[in-house]
Amino acid sequence: MQRLEGFHKGDRALVFMGGPSVLKKRVDISRLAGKGFTVFLESKALTERFLDWGLPVDYYLMFYPDKAKSNSFQMVVLQALLSKLDLKPLVHPERHAQIDYMLSHLDSYLSPGKQNITHKRLMWNADVFLPGSPFELLPKLQQARLIAYQPALKTAVSKQIFEQEMHTFDTDESPGDLSLEGYYKPLIKDGRLVLQSSRLTNSAAIALYPLLKFMGFSKVYFLGSDMSMLGTMEHAAPFTFLSMSDYRQFFDRARRAFGTHFPSSDRRDALEDLQSRFLSGDVLTLFSPQGRDSFLALLSGQANYRRPRSELRMAKRLLMAAQGIEFVNVFEPYSYALPTEGVRNISFEQMLLE
């Protein structure tokens, strides 16, 4: 990564996150080709549907390579297994063969984890990945450079060889309170890029924002950043579950399989969010789309499959703290997506005109 410091000074980046809103709103990604963007692709957004658009990718983000060993639906199968939930009655029949394959080949891909907590009871074996996963599709991104977190790469891969150019980074060894000053000023130690370590759980917040700044971009557009837990591209919940009420059954049963940081209930998460907004002194945020969404979740007890709201608040804090780089969210209104706080939100058509 050291070689990429300032390499894209003044350039514009497009980070494709692949939220289901992109397909639901029929956004034609192929129109972005030749528009002068340096294109970044999020791990699970590498799917057959994305490849159909023919958009050249400059950087493939595999910060945590284990994420690329399964597509979004395959991850749901694993989470259902960890939650002791029978998934077949909830999803489209054409997905049943994938479930059967994973359950019958489980030992080939996963081993018992060292921690007895739900989302870590099974861990990926090195040098294996599921059919139809981003790892299997990776050879189709011949021109893309790969970016990975070095310790995670060592765990996920021991013998596998990548044809693409690889860039890696490290983090410091003692995570503490997040320093915004240090967050956007990573260090070079012994010829390696070292980012500030933290207790952040969202990979974009952990590494993507400071890396984009480090590489010199002046403007970054996020596309398909729905900030929901619905999954990515054609493997997301709206396209794999029989209905969103069926996904609700899975979502509520599998909360612990998303991580220990995941809220135990939507109502509790919404209440904590409203309290945080009130105590921050910025009372107007209570009436923002995010604040109104929390009010509705508090009243109904259910939200539209949001990421933990603490992640949304932290993303706002980090994005607003950046100097010399503008972050822009491309937002197409969709039932399960919200605009991003702290940045401009524009339509896809507006982005094409900028």
Report whether 246 contacts 60 (CB < 8 A): no
- State the DSSP code for 208: I
pLDDT of residue 127: 93
Give the pLDDT of residue 283. 86
Q: What is the pLDDT of residue 200?
A: 65
Asked if 58 and 39 touch (Cβ cutoff 8 Å), the reply is: yes
Distances (CA, A) of 156 to 19, 62, 103, 199: 25, 11, 21, 21
pLDDT at res. 96: 98
Give the model's confidence band at 213: pLDDT under 50 very low, under 70 low, under 90 confident, else very high: very high
Three-state DSSP class for residue 80: helix
Tens of pLDDT, residue by residue over 24-77, are: 999 999 999 999 999 999 999 999 999 999 999 999 999 999 999 999 999 999
Q: Is the pLDDT of residue 176 over 80?
A: no
Q: Which uninterrupted H or E stretch holds 169?
A: strand 166-171
Burial 43-66 (b: 16+ CB within 10 A, else e): bbbbbebbeeeebebbbbbbbbbb
Domain range annotation of the chain = 2-258+308-353, 266-300
Average pLDDT over every residue of 87-105: 97
Contact 73/232 with Cβ under 8 angstroms? no
pLDDT at 158 over 70: yes
Residue 119 pLDDT grade (very low, low, confident, very high; cuts 50, 70, 90)? confident
Which H or E run contains 352? helix 348-353
Q: In this predicted structure, what is the pLDDT of residue 112?
A: 92
Phi first, then psi, for residue 15 (nearest 5°) are: -105, 110
- Dump pLDDT digits (tens) for 280-330: 888 889 999 999 999 999 999 999 999 999 989 988 989 999 999 999 999
Say how many C-beta atoms besides its own lie within 10 A of residue 155's C-beta.
14
- Give the C-alpha separation, 235 to 45, whole Å: 9
The pTM for the full model equals 0.94
C-alpha to C-alpha distance for 5 and 193, rounded to whole angstroms? 9
